[in-house]
Structure 1
Amino acid sequence: MDMSEESFNYVGERFADLQMLRYRLDDFDKLTLRQKSLIYCLAKATLYGRDITFDEFGKYNLKIRKTLEAVFCLYKGNRNCADFEALTVYMKRVWFSNGIYHHYGTEKFEPGFSEEFFRKAVKSVDASRLPIDDGSVDALLNEICPVIFDPTILPKRVNKADGEDLIRTSACNYYSGVSQREVEDFYAAKKNGDGPQPSWGLNSTLVKDEKGIHEEVWRENGKYGKAINKIIYWLTEALQYAESKEQKHVIELLIKYYRTGDLADFDKYSIEWVKEKGDSIDFINGFIEVYGDPLGLKGSWEGIVEYRDNKATARAATIAANAQWFEDHSPVDPRFRKPVVKGVSANVICAAMLGGDEYPSSAIGINLPNAEWIRSEYGSKSVTISNLTHAYSMAAKGNGFKEEFIIDEPTLRLIEKYGDVCDDLHTDLHECLGHGSGQLLPGTDPDALKNYGNTIEEARADLFGLYYIADPKLVELGLLNSNDAFKAQYYEYIMNGLMTQLVRIRPGHNIEEAHMRNRALIAQWARDTNPEIIEIVKKEGKSFVRINDYEALRRVFAKQLAEIQRIKSEGDFMAARNLVEKYAVKVDKTIHKEVLERYNRLNIAPYKGFINPVLTPIKDEKGNITDIAVDYTEDYEHQMLRYSNEYATLI
């Protein structure tokens, strides 16, 4: 269904702290039938990974989801009562977060309905629709009710608290029966120190049982095999529509990896994926990001199907073409710079389908692969997702947020003029060059920073972008048209790191998520060490950020980048720990309370996520595909129930 920009409704349902949005597939109609058919097959492969992500994020997630859905669909009692309405909201939050833990803070949701109501409701529905194995409905309830209702049982999906056993205190389903020390020792023993190392542990569950400590590998004939078989089927279907022999080879390598589970096959796939740059359609499909593991080892399953935004890609291509200049002029110690930057590519893309850990909440920029040695030898691919950032921008129009938190009218006008372009540019610099910049010293373990590694890596990429967005080189390259434009990004970044991102934190809680910790680290560190540059001032009883010297702030970012790169390059765990614990974890309770009160008055949901479009093949009387139709009208509830039915594989 084609809709004009003026008639397209970006904003969908809102519940709890969440706002659902829609994204457009701009210029999809201009793609060839072959390209559309390739996108369709890759989209099916993306959606079939959903159950994997749910199971990775918690041992009981799938059983709880299916039980909630059965009650929601079949319950014949009073559906207007407070308990049923609370159960509905709880279920929608479970859908959004791929489980019972908040997608950002990773704390367990508090059900707003009673256990008594839940037990009666479950017993009232057709037992054949419940996830019962060989037991009874009572056995199911006795298994899942403590997990739902007892706040002391498996309270956090990812625990990063300093000084605790991060494996035993995290509810993510990557480990069974092992301690943090046992995990670290198991994977340390695999690293022989000779040449490039695979991403040990990326695609397996580490289990301790009567056989000892061993891995259950996620592959075709292993754990998650039922889902992986479906993914393989649709990847195989995609082969006939590949745009080039190189793209076909990439897909074949991914299929092989899914069949063997061999990380050496994953590395071969990743290398060829990086090298394949000429086609318009691309995708991410697999066990990729490690933020859901407190030790940063296990990859959550995710999928994105994308096609190039040719007009906007010119911006990213300019950055990529000058990658060596940026590396050579970085303020870090020359020992930590790459002498030769290889294989950097950058595209601005339109997402065509989101799945797994990228759905409903998605990144707006991605740089892969994550393996340091592949980045060094073969380069990386970077994407900025233009139709998602556009949806965010359209949904934010007129919500009053900037007027409430920006200090004065001149700063507000500056941000209105340059904010969007600087946001996109900072994302490009972060993904295209930041993550791909620098190098580890010989002998440095890429996992040396352990639970602080993700925060340090995100800080490194953000600081790279912050430093260079103020460089006259960007005006010279035509990426910005004013030497003052960077101030919009600096102000919004510091305001977010010091104040406004706190709307996502519950009162009394610490900052947990790696990206939020990264922003707090940079902003708090800069303010604490340079109070003459960054202040929080009062105006009419409200707190505001004031930046007194933007050029001086750039020099602060340069020093921070140099230190963060040193920590990364040398694997300095203690320095990483000290910085993160000092600046990135604790919350100023007074500021937090004020920010929440001001934000709540605006009635804005702090988190956004996306409803996927529906792709449907149009066939002629002989069964041949003649087109792929796009429909944006499916609502959140219908989409989630349909996915749970159509793409169910593990339960």
Structure 2
Amino acid sequence: MNSETISKHNDNNFYRVEKFADLEILRYKVTGFEELTLRQKKLLYYLSEAALQGRDILYDQNNRWNLIIRRTLEAIYIYFKGDRDTEEFKNFEIYLKRIWFSNGIHHHYSTDKMMPGFPENYFIKAVKSIEDKYLPLKKGESKESLLENIVPVIFSPMTDAKRVNQTEGEDLITTSAGNYYDGVTQNEVETFYSHVKKKDDPHPISYGLNSRLVKRNGKIYEEIYKIGGLYTEALEKVVYWLEQAKSVAENENQKKSIQKLIDFNRSGNLKEFDEYAILWVNDTNSEIDFINGFTETYGDPLGIKGSWESLVNFKNKQASERTQIISENAQWFEDNSPVDQQFKKVKVKGVSAKVITAAILGGDTYPSTPIGINLPNSNWIRQIHGSKSVTIENITEAYDRASQNNGFAEEFIWGENEKELIKKYGFLADNLHTDLHECLGHGSGQLLPGTDPDALKAYGATLEEARADLFALYYIADSRIVELNLLPDEEAYKAEYYKYMMNGLLTQLTRILPGNNLEESHMRNRQLIARWIYEKGMPDKVVELRKKEEKTYVVINDYIKMRKIIGDLLAEIQRIKSTGDFNAGKELVETYAVKVDPVLHREILERYKKLNIAPYKGFINPVYIPVYDKNGNISDINVTYKEGYAQQMLRYSKDYSLLPDYNN
């Protein structure tokens, strides 16, 4: 597919920028920015700069060749003097845009290596046509040496084929192309961390979160991400902008939180990271908030290493009324959960939730971003101090506005009743599901004493996402939700039930290639839940897959029984997590979450292709421009939305390209 620029003939197309490959680029509005105080605007601006400084870290974490490949491709894109109207160059441009989107050479969702649509000899000639000074050459290195290194990585299907391999029975470390480990096997990694963990520690640090584990001369050790250590060039700039942010912090609690994050970046000490997380989770009064650092572990097949990410945001006060209601009733939801009593929190602490407006996306939240977040990930901090949950409503609004009238509902939804349900309640129910997932789902339950937080290993991420989704699905259908005015009536939840089953059983298959199984944790989670409900409900035909005009559709016959099945699965997954039952978790995931019906898959792909809808979407960031008075002080911050996709990516590569070409 050639790159396609979206015309701007109506307001919804403000959100839509361009399409290429399997991707669509959108914009999001930062509604309410102009109403912030100057101090708040400056805080957002400084935090946004800190967010962008870590961009290269994620590229390097995703694969050790990413930076040098990206910089080589960008040099060709900027300085190539040949014919830019050929199919080869157009396909080259799409390949570079895909790498920008995925922060490297592997697909952002499937983690398969993306193969270029232009021949190897075309690439070699293009590199040789570029002046040496524009290429990422080490001192004394020739173009031939550069090509010898990167051509196999780009063009050989077998070289670094998978960024995150989750295939049962394989060595997940040596077969994954991520750059969190070097020279070690899965067994060596698991042995290393089993030895460094303190037994029966009630407050364990997140071992290995901020390091690369390497083997050099027979010795295994960690290279720590910190100032003076790995990624120092970027982290020094991150800290510089965090210092500026601290100077305009909204209150003393926020100031202390930022200072502790600065301390952690300087020391790399994970105990200080926990201290920062506690300060951050207890800062519930600040309107401006942010994430910055090594956070989620989906990029590591063992779920240990944190990828670099950032999100800067401010509170949507009106929309946050619903999350405040959820937070205030957190104990009721925990007490009435269908899980075994011993796995419930006796006293729910520190559950805070809000709806936010994203102001900048960075690292692993850019360009593709989650619609909700719950942090911190440390189980003991969540149990003692609580957690923060957010729903990013200007992102969900952008998705919703960009998808209107695209033909999807007509193609995949069974009947007029279901279409009307989703039209009437879909956006509201989606957002509430996200609220419940992030605020209560991830924050619910507890590990039994002595249970290792990493006991579920490679299956942990899938099971944790399933646990949170199930909690949300179970409660969105509860009459208590209507009593609390979170949904308008007892029909509204059915929109979410139908969309979830349709996605889990059918339409999410548009995101993988024919013949592939599911590997991404969120996709596995959704299929696990949907397939379990479908199978367990078969005797009563709770959910059916029906044919109409040779097309497969989801039909839900009994929403009440479906909720009961959801509760049963929630109870079982909470038991697995609370007890660290690896074998049961493995069996559940491998049985329901991984395998794909090839015939059904082919049908869904053929139907979806006719709609010309990109299955994946991501975002261009707004641009913040300081206004200075005659004394050189910032007197205002303006926000603009005019920057294009390639324009933004090239600017980021120019202004925030801080790491050396090789980090090995």
Which of 29, 37, 40 is 1:24 aligned to? 29
2 CA distance for matches of 1:169 and 1:509?
Answer: 16
* 1:211 positional shift: 5.9
2 CA distance for matches of 1:517 and 1:541?
Answer: 27
Which of 630, 635, 638 is 1:629 aligned to? 638
Structure 2 residue aligned with 1:192:
198
Contact 2:202 2:380 in 1 (8 A): no
Structure 1 unaligned runs (5+)? Answer: none
Contact 2:13 2:402 in 1 (8 A): no
Structure 2 residue aligned with 1:119:
124
Matches within 5 A, 1:264-275: 264-275=271-282
Dislocated runs of 4+, deviation >4 Å: 5-8
* 1:326 positional shift: 0.2
Any idea what SS the aligned residue of 1:64 has?
helix
Any idea what SS the aligned residue of 1:544 has?
strand
* 1:195 positional shift: 2.4
Which of 355, 368, 373 is 1:366 aligned to? 373
2 CA distance for matches of 1:577 and 1:7?
Answer: 43
Any idea what SS the aligned residue of 1:335 has?
helix
Matches within 5 A, 1:137-536: 137-193=143-199, 194-210=201-217, 212-531=219-538, 532-536=541-545
Any idea what SS the aligned residue of 1:618 has?
strand
Which of 89, 92, 95 is 2:100 aligned to? 95
Structure 1 residue aligned with 2:559:
550
Asked if residue 38 in structure 1 is aligned to residue 47 in structure 2, the reply is: no
* 1:252 positional shift: 0.2
1 CA distance for matches of 2:286 and 2:176?
Answer: 41
Which of 103, 110, 114 is 1:105 aligned to? 110
* 1:177 positional shift: 0.3
Structure 1 residue aligned with 2:3:
none
Structure 1 residue aligned with 2:52:
47
1 CA distance for matches of 2:123 and 2:488?
Answer: 59
Any idea what SS the aligned residue of 2:71 has?
helix
2 CA distance for matches of 1:168 and 1:484?
Answer: 50
Structure 1 vs Structure 2 CA RMSD? 1.2
* 1:8 positional shift: 7.0
* 1:7 positional shift: 7.9
Any idea what SS the aligned residue of 1:621 has?
coil
Which of 9, 14, 18 is 2:14 aligned to? 9
> Given residue 567 of structure 1, which amino acid in structure 2 is its aligned partner?
I
Contact 2:421 2:492 in 1 (8 A): yes
> Given residue 591 of structure 1, which amino acid in structure 2 is its aligned partner?
L
The TM-score normalised by the length of structure 1 is 0.99
Deviates more, 1:269-278 or 1:79-88: 79-88
Describe the superposition over 1:243-301 as per-residue Cα deviations: whole angstroms up to 9, x where unpaired.
00110100000000000000000000000000001010000000000000000000000
> Given residue 433 of structure 1, which amino acid in structure 2 is its aligned partner?
L
> Given residue 80 of structure 1, which amino acid in structure 2 is its aligned partner?
D
Percent of counterpart pairs with the same letter?
A: 57
Which of 61, 64, 69 is 1:59 aligned to? 64
Asked if residue 617 in structure 1 is aligned to residue 623 in structure 2, the reply is: no
Structure 2 residue aligned with 1:569:
578
> Given residue 318 of structure 1, which amino acid in structure 2 is its aligned partner?
I
Contact 2:12 2:402 in 1 (8 A): no
> Given residue 170 of structure 1, which amino acid in structure 2 is its aligned partner?
S
1 CA distance for matches of 2:418 and 2:537?
Answer: 21
Structure 2 unaligned runs (5+)? Answer: 1-7
Describe the superposition over 1:290-317 as per-residue Cα deviations: whole angstroms up to 9, x where unpaired.
0000000000000000000000000111
Describe the superposition over 1:398-455 as per-residue Cα deviations: whole angstroms up to 9, x where unpaired.
0010111010001110111111110000000000000000000111000000000000
1 CA distance for matches of 2:20 and 2:210?
Answer: 34
Total equivalences in the alignment: 649
Structure 1 residue aligned with 2:78:
73
2 CA distance for matches of 1:254 and 1:527?
Answer: 46
2 CA distance for matches of 1:27 and 1:141?
Answer: 49
Asked if residue 604 in structure 1 is aligned to residue 613 in structure 2, the reply is: yes
* 1:34 positional shift: 0.2
Structure 1 residue aligned with 2:547:
538
* 1:126 positional shift: 1.4
2 CA distance for matches of 1:139 and 1:555?
Answer: 62
* 1:6 positional shift: 4.3
1 CA distance for matches of 2:475 and 2:535?
Answer: 22
2 CA distance for matches of 1:144 and 1:320?
Answer: 51
Asked if residue 594 in structure 1 is aligned to residue 599 in structure 2, the reply is: no
* 1:66 positional shift: 0.1
Contact 2:165 2:176 in 1 (8 A): yes
